Amino acid sequence: MELESLITILGSGGIVTDPSLNSAYTVDWTRRYSGNTPAVLLPKTTEQVSQVVKWCYKNSVALVPQGGNTGMVGGATPVNGELVLSLKRMTDIEEVDDATGQIVTQAGTTLGDVQQAASRHGWKYPVDLSARDSASIGGTIATNAGGSQVLRYGNTREQILGLEAVSGTGDVIGDLRGLSKDNTGYHLPGLLCGSEGTLAVVTKARLRLVKPPKEELSILLGFRSLIEALSIVEEIRKSLEDVQACEVFFQNGLDLVCEKFEIAPPWNAHLGAYLLVDIGGQIGLEERISNSPLSAFLNTSNFVAYGSDNLSRKKLWQYRDLHTEAISAAGVPHKLDVSLPHGKLNEFCNDVQEIINTIDNETQLFLFGHAGDGNIHVNVLGPSPEDLEIDTAVLKYVASLGGSISAEHGIGRAKAHHLNLNRTTQEIDIFREIKAAFDPAGILNPGTIFPQ
Ligand SMILES: Cc1cc2nc3c(=O)[nH]c(=O)nc-3n(C[C@H](O)[C@H](O)[C@H](O)COP(=O)(O)OP(=O)(O)OC[C@H]3O[C@@H](n4cnc5c(N)ncnc54)[C@H](O)[C@@H]3O)c2cc1C
């Protein structure tokens, strides 16, 4: 490939061609997907992104947009030798607007840096996930990332007030005016959010900030069974206004986290399920909790631990936050991020092992996730990366229960062949037409969402 024109656009510091240096961009976080690329392109400005995409459009060269490369579905991996367009150098936070509670940033800024910038100005950016220090704002927009606080604040789509992006022809589209009300035709940010780099490259975003809670409290709860835990999730929803997060994990995941990171378990017990609940709001949280119907359970259970300051809350959160890393340290997982109707969550968690066992009874299964959203991360260790038999069986089971085969990670390459489990042929045809309108040459992330 003739790369001289790209060097002219980006400068020699803006392009990496040495394969020994670009491996960080060609293997995904889970190590399940890998590829190769003639070059990693590192623009600094929207204008450079536009010129690069125009060059690719003219020369029919495919490219894969990439942010922090923490995606879970192989959507940022150049598996067919595409160029990698990394937004890593586009990290300017242009404005924190105190008057409106909005932040404007380039898309390569990490989620953690946006959270900190908001916090320095007395605001909070309410999307949070444990890959916060690597995941980029552009990546969280492209995947419509969820995370632990969806229950309270909604997913990424609900935070976007404006986007700037570069379409598959290299045109700059969108706006960053931040109007709360603007019903002029189709909603571009809504469409681009969750499009996984297949419609446009997100270059900047204007995001909504919220006022941070005055007081925060984390509570870890242990249960004999998941059904008992889920009845408390219902009670929490009904009786507490201040819930920010309600996470679930199980004994085998907790044991793995404690073993891998050499930390003590919360209790010397073997329990059926754990909930980690985060509460945040006006001063007086403990009083409000003790006046709620939840207090009867909290006062009688032997398995309740409170974290009220940063250190003790962090200690409780590590049991949940470290699941992804502990599982990846144990092997290359098949990651199936699914959501179920609330009434089906218990059935799914109880039966999924059996479904997997009919195919291979030597796998290891770890479940954890966002109980308040009915979102379970199914992690299977054992099958080879390219073996899709277990993935297919689990995803079919999810669809049969009325669930979603992708709650928050996206379709990527991992689930492209399974999109029809949740979407009709007509819907997929419309999706393809939308893609062709944004990206007529099909150069943006081919193979993601739609199988090649
Ligand atoms: C430890 C850990 C915990 C996680 N927890 C959660 C969680 O709780 N909730 C959740 O939703 N996800 C979670 N994730 C998954 C991941 O962090 C998110 O999907 C995140 O949004 C990806 O951001 P990224 O910048 O790393 O994107 P990448 O991995 O680089 O890319 C992901 C997708 O977005 C596209 N893309 C990236 N940047 C752009 C751009 N600027 N314009 C257009 N397309 C782009 C890529 O082409 C690809 O399809 C977790 C990951 C890890 C490693």
Cα gap 261→258, rounded to integer Å: 5
Q: Is 4 exposed, middle or buried (0-12, 13-18, 19+ CB in 10 A)?
A: exposed
Atom of ligand 1 at shortest range from CA of 28: 29
CB of 408 closer than 8 Å to CB of 141: no
371 and 290 within one domain: no
Q: Ligand 1 pocket: which of 64, 82, 136, 141 to mutate (most atoms <8 Å of CB)?
A: 136
Average pLDDT over residues 255-278: 97
CATH of the domain at 270: 3.30.70.2190
236 and 131 within one domain: no
pLDDT for 293 = 84
- SS3 track for 397-423: HHHHCCCECCCCCCCCCCCHHHHHHCC
CATH of the domain at 366: 3.30.70.2740
Cα gap 315→307, rounded to integer Å: 8
- Residue 430 falls inside a structural domain: no
pLDDT for 1 = 75
3-state helix, strand, coil in the chain (%, to 5): 35, 20, 40
Per-residue pLDDT reduced to its tens digit, 40-60: 999 999 999 999 999 999 999
192 and 123 within one domain: yes
Average pLDDT over residues 273-289: 94
> What percentage of the chain exceeds 90 in pLDDT?
91
Average pLDDT over residues 320-342: 95
Q: Ligand 1 pocket: which of 70, 88, 257, 448 to mutate (most atoms <8 Å of CB)?
A: 70
Average pLDDT over residues 60-74: 97
For the record, the structure tokens of 262 come out as 């050499």
> What percentage of the chain exceeds 70 in pLDDT?
100
When pLDDT is cut at 50, 70 and 90, the band that residue 240 belongs to is: confident
HSE-up of residue 117 (Cα within 13 Å, Cβ side): 22
**For residue 232, pLDDT beyond 90:** yes
Domain count, the chain: 4
Taking CA atoms only, the protein residue closest to ligand 1 atom 53 is 70
Least confident residue range of 30-34, 220-224, 235-239, 282-286: 235-239
72 lines ligand 1 (CB under 6 A): yes
Atom of ligand 1 at shortest range from CA of 165: 42
Average pLDDT over residues 100-114: 98
- Residue 164 falls inside a structural domain: yes
Average pLDDT over residues 168-182: 95
| 140 C-alpha to ligand 1 centroid (Å) | 5
Look at the block and give the residue holding tokens 């507490």.
240
Atom of ligand 1 at shortest range from CA of 412: 49
87 lines ligand 1 (CB under 6 A): yes
261 and 344 within one domain: no
Q: Using the 3D structure, point to which of 56, 88, 120 is the last residue of a domain.
A: 88
When pLDDT is cut at 50, 70 and 90, the band that residue 13 belongs to is: very high
CATH of the domain at 20: 3.30.43.10
- Residue 132 falls inside a structural domain: yes
Q: Which residues contact 344 (CB under 8 A, 6 or more apart)?
A: 401, 402, 403
- Residue 370 falls inside a structural domain: yes
196 and 233 within one domain: no
**For residue 452, pLDDT beyond 90:** no
> How much is the CA Rg of the chain, to the nearest whole Å?
22
**For residue 370, pLDDT beyond 80:** yes
79 and 112 within one domain: no
111 and 49 within one domain: no
Q: Ligand 1 pocket: which of 80, 111, 143, 366 to mutate (most atoms <8 Å of CB)?
A: 143
pLDDT for 447 = 97
Atom of ligand 1 at shortest range from CA of 410: 19
108 lines ligand 1 (CB under 6 A): no
Atom of ligand 1 at shortest range from CA of 136: 25
Cα gap 35→142, rounded to integer Å: 21
Per-residue pLDDT reduced to its tens digit, 2-12: 899 999 999 98
Average pLDDT over residues 98-126: 97
Atom of ligand 1 at shortest range from CA of 203: 41
For the record, the structure tokens of 305 come out as 């631990």
225 and 201 within one domain: no
pLDDT for 271 = 98
397 and 338 within one domain: yes
Average pLDDT over residues 409-436: 97
For the record, the structure tokens of 120 come out as 């320095």
pLDDT for 190 = 95
pLDDT for 446 = 98
How far is the CA of 318 from the CAs of 30, 315, 325, in angstroms?
Answer: 20, 5, 11
Average pLDDT over residues 24-40: 94
| 360 C-alpha to ligand 1 centroid (Å) | 30
| 64 C-alpha to ligand 1 centroid (Å) | 13
Between helix 323-330 and helix 251-260 the angle, nearest 10°, is 80
- Residue 444 falls inside a structural domain: no
133 and 73 within one domain: no
pLDDT for 233 = 93
**For residue 19, pLDDT beyond 90:** no
Q: Using the 3D structure, point to which of 57, 73, 88 is the last residue of a domain.
A: 88
Strongest mean pLDDT among 18-22, 140-144, 381-385:
140-144
pLDDT for 185 = 95
- Residue 67 falls inside a structural domain: yes
111 lines ligand 1 (CB under 6 A): no
Taking CA atoms only, the protein residue closest to ligand 1 atom 27 is 139
The whole-chain average pLDDT of the chain stands at 96
340 and 261 within one domain: no
Q: Using the 3D structure, point to which of 50, 65, 88 is the last residue of a domain.
A: 88
32 or 194, which is more confident: 194
- Residue 357 falls inside a structural domain: yes
| 409 C-alpha to ligand 1 centroid (Å) | 7
- Residue 46 falls inside a structural domain: yes
Per-residue pLDDT reduced to its tens digit, 304-316: 999 999 999 999 9
How far is the CA of 434 from the CAs of 210, 374, 423, in angstroms?
Answer: 33, 29, 15
Going by C-alpha positions, the residue among 58, 52, 50 that lies closest to residue 441 is 58
27 and 53 within one domain: yes
When pLDDT is cut at 50, 70 and 90, the band that residue 237 belongs to is: confident
pLDDT for 209 = 98
| 135 C-alpha to ligand 1 centroid (Å) | 6
**For residue 444, pLDDT beyond 90:** yes
**Domain containing 70: what range?**
4-88
CB of 338 closer than 8 Å to CB of 378: yes
Q: Ligand 1 pocket: which of 72, 109, 207, 379 to mutate (most atoms <8 Å of CB)?
A: 72
Average pLDDT over residues 254-276: 97
